[in-house]
Amino acid sequence: MKRLIPLVASALLVLTGCGQNDQANSTATSSPTISYTDGMTVTVVSVESANTFTAEIEGLKKQVRLVNLAAPSPNGLALSSDCLVDESKALLAEKLPANSQVTLKFDENQRGKTGYVEAAVYSGDAFINRDMARAGMVATTFSTASDKFYPEISQAQQDAANEGLGLYSRDLKCAIPALIQEQKKAVDDAKTWEVNTGQDASAEDQQKEAERQKIYKDASAFYRELKDQVKSPAQWVGSIVTLDSVSQQLTDLEQTLGDDFYPQNGTSVNQQKKSGVQSTPARPGS
């Protein structure tokens, strides 16, 4: 399955202003400028996150962001986006030690998108953006369908997911694949419960059945939430759930739920059967 990359429209906002006096204008016009050219060499000062480092460029310190990468963040709000924050930063710091020299290359589609110097970063023959994705320590993102470096970086992410590395591990509790696996196991277990749901059901049976239906509802809501993120493959969750191996996990969760899937503001097929309701429910993926 090929990942779909819709065109993402972007606008460049240019801020202009007038100085208060000639001295201010003189200061502004005398500020040094940097000519960013493909293959330029810069010196690493420090690493700030899994996709950002400070570099000395022509005597100035500038923040460089590894193009087409989204890094874990301690303030991440998206599902799993605060996963492996320290580990991913440590890996980039290992690849880009202080005072080392690296080469920057640029994609015109990406210039000025983030406020950072967006670049493909090379240390010797190593393509650092790709290698961070291959280690499973970042998600990929893009600006347009014609991003220069995205195909190679995205393939590295796909490979990491296929091997279950880093953020794509089913054993790492905060990772999306592990969270999907947890929901699937809960549904599998609930389906094995022996519960009397007839008219003579005991209070204990009724409680057990209520717990089982809650598991189905929670898993259904989780499935719907992730499935909705497929529409946004340039964002953190969308970048992960559109990967083949993770998408297959979602399909497995859907199939495990079967007729116990709850659509948005709806009732599962099995619940409808129990209540005698005859209608065609909405099914996942329909």
**pLDDT value at position 24?**
41
Burial classification of residue 43, based on how many CB atoms lie within 10 Å of its CB (0-12 exposed, 13-18 middle, 19 or more buried)? middle
Query: Is residue 10, in this structure, part of any structural domain at all?
Result: no
Mean pLDDT within 165-177? 98
**Tokens 């946004």 label which residue?**
232
- For residue 31, give every residue at least 6 positions away whose Cβ sits within 8 Å of its Cβ, in sequence order, or none: none
Query: Is residue 282, in this structure, part of any structural domain at all?
Result: no
Query: Is residue 6, in this structure, part of any structural domain at all?
Result: no
Checking DSSP bridges between strand 60-66 and strand 117-123, what pairing results, if any? parallel
pLDDT digits (tens, 9 = 90+) for 130-168: 999 999 999 999 998 899 999 999 999 999 999 999 999
**How is residue 93 written in tokens?**
């710091």
Pair (56, 92) in one structural domain: yes
Query: Is residue 54, in this structure, part of any structural domain at all?
Result: yes
Mean pLDDT within 176-197? 94
Pair (72, 106) in one structural domain: yes
Q: Which of 109, 137, 168 is the last residue of a domain?
A: 168
- Nearest-10 Cα torsion for 267, 188, 181, 244: -70
Query: Is residue 159, in this structure, part of any structural domain at all?
Result: yes
**How is residue 217 written in tokens?**
């509802």
Pair (69, 190) in one structural domain: no
Q: Which of 116, 151, 168 is the last residue of a domain?
A: 168
Q: Is the confidence at residue 237, as pLDDT, over 90? A: yes
Pair (188, 266) in one structural domain: yes
Pair (116, 214) in one structural domain: no
Pair (82, 201) in one structural domain: no
Nearest CA among 96, 91, 180 for reference residue 138: 91
Query: Is residue 27, in this structure, part of any structural domain at all?
Result: no
Q: Which of 137, 168, 199 is the last residue of a domain?
A: 168
Number of domains the chain contains: 2
Pair (113, 196) in one structural domain: no
Distance, CA of 212 to CA of 46 (rounded, Å): 51
pLDDT digits (tens, 9 = 90+) for 52-104: 999 999 999 999 999 999 999 999 999 999 999 999 999 999 999 999 999 99
**How is residue 200 written in tokens?**
């003579």
pLDDT digits (tens, 9 = 90+) for 213-233: 999 999 999 999 999 999 999
Distance, CA of 224 to CA of 264 (rounded, Å): 8
CATH code of the domain in which 149 resides: 2.40.50.90
Q: Which residue has the higher pLDDT, 4 or 135?
A: 135
**Tokens 């010196």 label which residue?**
43
Pair (71, 122) in one structural domain: yes
Instruction: Please report which confidence band the pLDDT of residue 109 belongs to, taking 50, 70 and 90 as the band edges.
Output: confident
Pair (136, 41) in one structural domain: yes
Q: Which domain holds residue 65?
A: 36-168
Pair (118, 224) in one structural domain: no
Query: Is residue 69, in this structure, part of any structural domain at all?
Result: yes
Instruction: Please report which confidence band the pLDDT of residue 201 belongs to, taking 50, 70 and 90 as the band edges.
Output: confident
Q: Is the confidence at residue 266, as pLDDT, over 60? A: yes
Pair (46, 156) in one structural domain: yes
Pair (218, 99) in one structural domain: no
What DSSP character marks residue 2?
P
**pLDDT value at position 31?**
53
Checking DSSP bridges between strand 117-123 and strand 101-105, what pairing results, if any? antiparallel
Nearest CA among 193, 60, 38 for reference residue 111: 38
